[in-house]
Amino acid sequence: MVWHTQGSGKSLTMAFYAGRVILHPAMANPTIVVLTDRNDLDDQLFGTFSRCRDLLRQPPVQASDRADLRAKLTVASGGVVFTTIQKFFPEEKGDRHPVLSERRNIVVIADEAHRSQYDFIDGFARHMRDALPNASFIGFTGTPIEKTDANTRAVFGDYISVYDIQRAVFDGATVPIYYEGRLAKLGLKETERPKIDPEFEEATEGRRSSARRSSRASGRSSRQSLARITVFSSSLATWSSTSRTGSP
């Protein structure tokens, strides 16, 4: 797995990696599958790789649909094939995807590897591995995740290269990102406070006490969020007004 911060040349790194793999004698003229989960991302990467065709020793191709993808992957060797993971879905829901190739010199390069790669029961990831059972997988992402049901490293293995946001900022490859949290105080009129709990009890009558407590907490969170939005909108309107008048 490669952790490569977005906006600092990840697409070119993928192209350079593909070029090295293609030229390696042990790979014996491999097939490279460049995998994304969105058409616009597929087009963007395809454009980058097309400009590197001399490095790849061949022009890359895009799969237009599921039938075209299957035709492009049932080859004896070679090829740089671009596809979205959705094209690996079988013809009928619930069916297993047919094996397209049992070759071991197929390398799948998954961009945005933190997405769409975790459903191994009846999802895209399962169907892709049914189609290419002996392929090798390498994931590129700028935001790896670790959750109980979605762990990028569990799918692709440990990091072989890390270029995180801190290093990218230090190198000047991307601009610093700053976060500032602001909380708005929520104030209610004293005359309104006694009305809140009775109205809540009436609205949740008949529900279990645990569910009512959860709803009460959710209601407080919603009211706080609404107050923050109101304060932000008011501040934005004030800033816009002073900007137009030139006031400090």
Cβ(142)–Cβ(5) below 8 Å: yes
User: Same domain for 140 and 205?
Assistant: no
User: Same domain for 44 and 166?
Assistant: yes
Distances (CA, A) of 230 to 185, 191, 224, 237: 11, 21, 10, 11
pLDDT tens, residue by residue, 4-46: 887 778 899 999 999 999 999 999 999 999 999 899 999 999 9
Classify residue 33: in a domain, yes or no. Answer: yes
CATH number for the domain harbouring residue 67: 3.40.50.300
User: Same domain for 57 and 162?
Assistant: yes
Classify residue 151: in a domain, yes or no. Answer: yes
Looking at the chain, the whole-number percentage of residues with pLDDT higher than 90 is: 36
As a residue count, the chain comes to 248
Write the single-letter amino acid at 38: R
pTM as predicted: 0.67
Cβ(43)–Cβ(111) below 8 Å: no
Model confidence at 227: pLDDT above 70: no
- Name the nearest CA neighbour of 43 among 95, 101, 111: 111
Classify residue 159: in a domain, yes or no. Answer: yes
User: Same domain for 135 and 215?
Assistant: no
Cβ(49)–Cβ(18) below 8 Å: yes
Tell me how many domains the chain contains: 2
User: Same domain for 12 and 128?
Assistant: yes
User: Same domain for 114 and 55?
Assistant: yes
Angle of the 193-203 helix axis to the 209-245 helix axis, nearest 10: 130
The pLDDT score that the predictor gives to residue 191 is: 85
User: Same domain for 93 and 207?
Assistant: no
Classify residue 185: in a domain, yes or no. Answer: no
User: Same domain for 154 and 229?
Assistant: no
The pLDDT score that the predictor gives to residue 219 is: 53
Model confidence at 243: pLDDT above 50: no
Classify residue 56: in a domain, yes or no. Answer: yes
Distances (CA, A) of 74 to 71, 77, 98, 100, 101: 5, 9, 11, 6, 6
Range of the structural domain that residue 227 is part of? 193-245
